[in-house]
Amino acid sequence: MKKQNKTGSIGVVGATTIGVGGMMGAGLYTLLGLAANSAGVWLQYHF
């Protein structure tokens, strides 16, 4: 099998989308935590 010499690089667009995705994911978990705090044991029925 031939060995490939590829070096990974990330551009501005890739870095931006990773950052935005991380912020959106963190916001989603924050909202889920707030919903769990508000709904208590009834959280599963709020979805």
Reported as a single tens digit per residue, the pLDDT across 19-47 is: 999 999 999 999 888 888 888 888 777 66
Helices (H) and strands (E) in the chain, counts: 2, 0
Whether 24 and 17 have beta carbons less than 8 Å apart is answered as no
Long-range contacts of the stretch 14-22 (C-beta < 8 A, 24+): none
Question: For residues 35 and 43, is the Cβ–Cβ distance under 8 A?
Answer: yes
Grade residue 1 by pLDDT with cuts at 50, 70 and 90.
Answer: low
Please enumerate in sequence order all residues whose Cβ is within 8 A of that of 11, keeping only pairs 6 or more positions apart, or say none: none
